Chain A
Amino acid sequence: MYENLLLGLQTVFQLKGIFAIAAGVLWGTIGGMIPGINATIAMALLLPFTWGLSPEIAVIMLVGVYCGGEYGGSIPAVLIGTPGTNAAAATVFDGYELHKQGKTGIGLYASLLASVFGGLFGAVVLVFTAVPLASVALAFGPAEYFVLALVGLTLICSLGEGNVLKGIWAGLLGILLSTIGLDPFAGVPRLALGTASLSDGLEMIPLMMGLFAISEVFRQASDLAGTGNELVKIELDTSFPAWSMIKSWIPCGIFGSTLGVVVGAMPGAGATVASFLAYTGIKKWSKDQDSFGKGNPLGVVAPESANNAVTGGAMVPLLALGIPGSNSTAIMLGALMIHNITPGPMLFISNPEIPYGIFSALFVANLFMFFAGILCIKCAVKVANISKPALLAVIVALVFTGAYAYSGEIFDIGVALVCGLAGLAMRRGKLPHTATVLGFVLGFIMEANLRRALIISKGSYMGVFLNSGISSVLFGIAVLSVLWALLHPLYGSIKARKSVPIA
């Protein structure tokens, strides 16, 4: 094993290798920062350029892009309230609040440090526990995936800013949107209105960019309309946070990273699910729940450490089972296949420089990410000084380009625009649009896995919930968090009523 790790390090520590990772991380971070380009797309765009390289260099370069991309999305999430990638959506809640309060530095560096920590944590876990992690992934069948998604969905109850019902309505809208497109089982289009574009289903990127970015642009534009383009100067503190503060983030980072690695190892779950679960978890776990969504740095640390720890976990199915568990690892598979190399368990014997090169590259890439991050942050904070109208126009242009680049369809620009209007309406009606995104992300996972699980259990719902120890425990957690969300305000009001006569 150590011999092989040495081989991996040799692959990385040569001029070409270091250069490939550095370029990859920088490109990934920049791609992640651009709304509409996520880690997968940044990798896909780079893929044709890797074909001239040797396979191990190509793969470690893609590893760099993957790590950078998962981090980069958090920068616009903090600075303009628009996640650059799907996985940074949960970072908006507290990151953007921090920026609005002028604590920009805390938001940005919390996300950078959490990402580097999560990435390194994921890499360490991968090196030492790839095999046990693979068995965790295998323990999750359709029933377990369904219940896991259910747990994630209970977060919508707490997104409604004190109104549980509004959160649930918005979440249900997301689930409804996720049913658009081809029914995966019966093979018939649903709610597609007879159009070929809709029969593919709505794409995540234009939907989310519309709900977050375009609606924010509309909102800010309508706020500006009366003020005559005046630039409201807020004092921004962009300094590096104090060590004492960073220290208090460590337990939260460990929690987020652990969750990220495990979820990353599960095929089909991915970074977005991981970051939302981490946010839910840290919020439930915290003594000071009400501070979340109002600029608690832990609300940035948890999702960001989770989505970067996913990079380590996601390599597990690819390397241990030869199966890409996510779109990003599927691209790595493609990069290897063009060189006539088939990934899988045999790779450790036939081409050990590749799996161990990936291991080593994960470490180096995450260290580079720290510097790439500082560089990008230094440039990105200048955004705060640009005049609002110009900034808003640039955001619209970026979002439309991103939406179009993803699918190559004008239709998706329309989707972003319609979702933008819907998002504005939701903001006005105080319906949490993040709940809609969460419902959309989890809706498809839930539906497909519930239906699979029901085929296996011969239609018995109890057979799904109590399929295994894992599903029973997760189901218990889901039920308890819903009860908690419903009863907590009730309990609060009883307590308040009791305290009135005393006071």
Chain B
Amino acid sequence: MTDQLPALIIVIPLLGAFLTPLIGWHYKNLCHTWAVAVLIIPFYGATGILWQVVTTGPFSYRLGNWAPPWGIEYALDHLNALMLVIISAIGLLAAINAKQGVSNRLAGKEPQFYTLLLLQIVGLMGIVITGDLFNLFVFLEISSLSGYGLIAHGEDGAPLATFNYIMIGTVGACFYLLGVGYLYIATGSLNIADLAAMLPALYHSKVILVAFAFFTVGVAIKMGLFPLHIWMPDAYTTAPNPVSTLIAPLMTKVAAYILIRIMFTLFQPDFAITVIPVATILGWMSVIAILAGGLKALAQTDIKRMVTYIMVAEVGYIVMGVSVMNRMGLTGAILHILNDACMVFSLFLIIGAIAHRGHGRNIYHLNNLHKKMPLTMAAFTITALSMCGIPPACGFFSKWYLILGTIKAHQWIFAATLLTSSLINAVLFFRIIEQAYLLPISNSEHGLGQSHEEVITANEAPPSMLIPIIIMAATIILLGPLSGKIITAVIQHAVPVIF
């Protein structure tokens, strides 16, 4: 049974997705319980796989027992296993959180919603676990298609945002597919490990250069790297809250994973330094992404849109860590994938809870929220401190490694950008904290002096929303002190040996 875990964690949510409409046919209320129950198994499986990888080292699973170059292989190493745990944990919590939001906004559409949610998680897990380039494309499209379906359910303007997302996302996936085709012409193989052994002899062939360029552009579109991010703010802002809570933290991080996989496993690291200067290009693009994302976020009054622009900057962080090409930088980038997934997830959970209690998303309408929703705002403060990089929370540690990496690479402008971005984040979040905690009641636009007792009664979100928020706040604090352990146990094995 445990030998088959790599296949089961993909197959069980997939079968679960197909059974959801059947269950929802008569019992719409059962869908939520069913989805949560199904998602516990991948979480259990992913932690089991991570444990196995940490104790006995990387292994591979052969589907149908066909040997790798011909059959499809699930290659599991430290980076994979960590990503699997992140995706399955966030997927499980997002499914728990979705209950209230779905019965509010999408009443009667529960079967459709949970089917797509399960398919989304299947797609993301598949991207991460597979060791085959074409298989990765198929899973990429599974996750993208279910994402389009989920986002289109949103508020006014969501269908238009979805249509733009479909257009741009398809171009990204097609570029990726072209890259696969070029590699296939040159080598006749689709298996990542097989290709990695064959490619070094061909590094100066133009076909390989073009393939690498197509891969990078395609993945950058899916990741939302700055000039290619235009689909992201609209799509994630207009999506229903449970949907953006699920997709926003995961989709960009998984695309960043594909970039790391292509740059460091499929190609050798020195390909991106010596053969074509893609590392330099990505580095400067990430500088622009961090600054532009931060500045655009400053201009927003809608808190959800603000967070999506912060995500543009956070993608820049990860790409910067990849682009400096040393051990510190890549450690920071992988650690930031973990930390940022937690922080963005926590922010979207909180936005969902605030919206559920009808407080809207305008920053200037959040007065005295610490009295109305004390636990939620405490969690928000923790996340905000982590985003700014204040030590006990996890955000500090990944930024620390990123800055060490840029200093080691003698890229002083990169280091300055990271520090500036932390300052911008501080301004962004303390603007909200000030509104929520510090403004006196008499200053509030809504006070009107009619019923002060009503204003200060605590009115928290229901438990299905509050519990994930508290779990994530605790995780964010715990990941900080634990990051040393995570690095020695997992991340340092995921960094290529050459560094």
Decide if A and B are genuine partners: no
- Contacts from B to A (Cβ < 8 Å): none
